[in-house]
Amino acid sequence: MAYASTSLDKKTSILTLQKMKQEGQKFVTVALYDAPMAAMAQHSGVEVLLVGDSLGMTVLGFDSTVPVTMEHMIYHVEAVSRGSDKCLIMGDLPFMSYATVDDAMRNASRLMQAGAHMVKLEGGSWCADIVSKLSDRGIPVCAHIGLTPQSVNKFGGFRVQGRDEQGARKLMHDAKVLEKAGADILLLECVPAALAKEITEQMSIPTIGIGAGKDCDAQVLVINDILGLTPQPPKFSKNFLVESKDIPGALGKYVEDVKNAQFPADEHIFN
């Protein structure tokens, strides 16, 4: 039976997402940056709103996420929090804002006070101590592995990660270390579908995929990609506005297709 998207009737929490994973229900995430879009996403049944440092490229005109500051992030977290009272709001810690445990504590608390319910940071096992300290102090964490855009200069571009055996082993190791450290969610970006499936099956915490196949517990797309606003959209994205007459319709179609495992399709994944 097709899923019909409706407004959320109760507040989404980490426990909500854990229960959905246990019951095999997909949840939906959208990266967006303002109050009106947040309200529309909530009304369409989106459970998680990511205020991503992707705003550097989608809103501010930078060529990467590296120039994004804490002030940018706080401004947009505050805006999104004013547009939604039921979605779980996740805020990105931007480039070099969590280089040390003290930096992470200070800046994560600023995002939480701005309205985030969880912070997201990029990096593998080197982040374990930071994740542990944040978790111990009551700050939920989403750990982001695979293609981590803040490291684009180190990677030499936006490249799929974990395609060879060594890379795959490293990502699996990082996932397990971060879960043990206290991460509440694991985000996998641009990872081969089979590897993302294996990681998801071995994690007790939910996984969110973007360019990581359809077997993750959730999917995330940037609102600009959903609405066809990206001049050169990535392989893993889809313009849902083409099939809909308006923005709420596009968001509703995205929710429906994720819930029914129709998105991502084969053309959106890496093998």
Positions annotated as catalytic residues are 189
C-alpha separations of 164 from 86, 149, 171, 205, 209 in Å: 40, 20, 11, 25, 19
Count of CA atoms in the C-beta half-sphere (13 A) of 49: 36
How many other CB atoms sit within 10 Å of the CB of residue 2?
8
Question: Which tokens sit at 145?
Answer: 């592995």
